[in-house]
Structure 1
Amino acid sequence: MTFDPETDLRFNRRIKAPRSVLWECWTTPEHIKNFFVPKPHGIEKCEIHLRVGGRFNTTMSVEGQTIESKGVYLEIVEGERLVFTDTYSEGWKPSADPFMTAIIEFEDDGDGGTTYTAIARHRSPEARQKHEDMGFFGGWGTVATQLEEYAQSIK
């Protein structure tokens, strides 16, 4: 994969938790609810069918509003990489207004932790800039901190 700074945003962090635990967190609905959006916002519902073309649907509560996101997995490499998008929903039904494709990568850091990378791919430079302006780096940073804290509590 080639990173395109015109349309992609990337966040990297070393997380003090094993890759296997982070993988479990990212692939289990009960775990997703504990870190996926910056608090005080939350996940009301999460549905995962972990296969290429399978659903990755979330219902978020953000400032009193309910926001539904329906998507599918495009690539799954056990313990290493998840790629999902809201460009399609399950059954390859196109979305009217897609936001991004997410690429989540996990790599052992050699010290019992994980190098965690999140890439958000957008359909245009304008969509990328909108996401950055919405707080991509701060939001994904908060999510990574919440993920680390939660992963450490369950391992």
Structure 2
Amino acid sequence: MHHAQWDPRHVLKITRIINAPRQEVFEAWTHAEQVKHWMCPEGSSVSFAELDVRVGGTFRIAMRIDDADTVHTGIYHEITPPAKLVFTWVSKHTHHRESLVTVEFFEQGDTTELVLLQMQLPDEEAVERHTSGWTKLLEHLAASLKKRDWRKVE
């Protein structure tokens, strides 16, 4: 697979402690019904989430913000429950080019340290937009897990 040249400065890294066990945090990323609850900024919604969680599987997630859907797509490259996910992330905010996201989940007693790394972003604006976006999403994830207003859905 050929990748366009990308600037190694166009990378973001976010670390967040989430007050929930590692398995629960991992499952929040890998079950569509759970993704719908948190993968949008507070005050917006997820129109649809389709996840085929296997290596080579794809996902499509639409965040509805200000009455417009922004669709995010990607392909899973690595799935190591409950420790690590690696997937591509494509949307209009990556200029429809692939970026690569690695999410690692570290057990810290009853809490989880989540480390999100996104590489191959097209420019500094995309880095800033995604840093802001992921920060909001992870806040929403932490709040959703704290409320426990949804349960594991098989």
Fold agreement, TM-score > 0.5: yes
Query: What residue is the counterpart of 2:40 in the other structure?
Result: 37
Alignment of 1:98-109 (within 5 A): 98-109=97-108
Listed as ranges, the matches of 1:85-124 within 5 Å are 85-86=88-89, 97-109=96-108, 111-123=109-121
> Counterparts of 2:89 and 2:140 in 1: how far apart (Å)?
23
Q: Where does residue 20 of structure 1 map in the other structure?
A: 23
Q: Does 1:129 align with 2:124?
A: yes
Deviations 1:75-133 (A, max 9, x none): 1111011111146xxxxxxxx82252211110001x2101111111115xxx2412233
Quick one: distance in 2 between partners of 1:86 and 1:114?
23
Cα distance in 2 for residues equivalent to 1:108 and 1:137: 23
TM-score w.r.t. length of structure 2: 0.80
Structure 1 residue ranges, 4+ long, deviating more than 4 angstroms after superposition: none
CA contact (8 A) 1:106 1:117 kept: yes
1:69–1:139 distance in 2 versus 1, CA, 3 Å: closer
TM-score, with structure 1 as normaliser: 0.80
> Cα offset for 1:148?
1.2
**CA RMSD, Structure 1 to Structure 2 (Å):** 2.1
Q: Extract unaligned runs of 5+ from structure 2.
A: 1-6
Structure 1: any 5+ residue segments left out of the alignment? Answer: 88-95
Match of 1:69 in 2: 72
C-alpha distance in 1, partners of 2:131/2:97? 20
Task: Provide the identity percentage.
Answer: 25
Q: Distance in 2 between matches of 1:63 and 1:106?
A: 31
- Confirm or deny: 8 A CA contact 1:121 1:128 kept in the other structure: no
Query: Secondary structure of 2:37's match?
Result: coil
Aligned length: 139
Contact 1:25 1:31 in 2 (8 A): yes
